[in-house]
Amino acid sequence: MLQIEIHSRDLEKEVNALIDAGLYADLQALMTDALEKLVTTKRESCLDAAILLYQQQEVTLARAAELAGIHRFEFEAVLETKGISKIVEVD
């Protein structure tokens, strides 16, 4: 069970208002939604950063995929959907 203490009175008021308005059934539902959004945002931010580093040739494709937290083939697919050409790596 998730337990949380809100140390900001203003934040506590906003949280309670969201629950009172019926947007969330309770604090647990609100926190679950907030954490899911945080994880998704972090994942997207890591992917964006990895793509940028790859485009700047600061990291290899394999390292960029690792930074993004996805498999190399999945990273290649993301690049393709975004219209980003693969960089040919020469040893």
Interval 1-47: pLDDT, tens: 667 788 899 999 999 999 999 999 999 999 999 999 998 999 899 99
Least confident stretch, 11-20, 33-42, 70-79, 82-91: 82-91
- The four Cα atoms 50, 68, 85, 53 give a dihedral, to 10 degrees, of 10
Which pTM does this prediction carry?
0.66
Residue 28 DSSP SS3? helix
83 Cβ neighbours under 8 A, 6+ residues apart: none
Domain ranges of the chain: 9-81
Note whether 89 and 58 are within 8 A (CB).
no
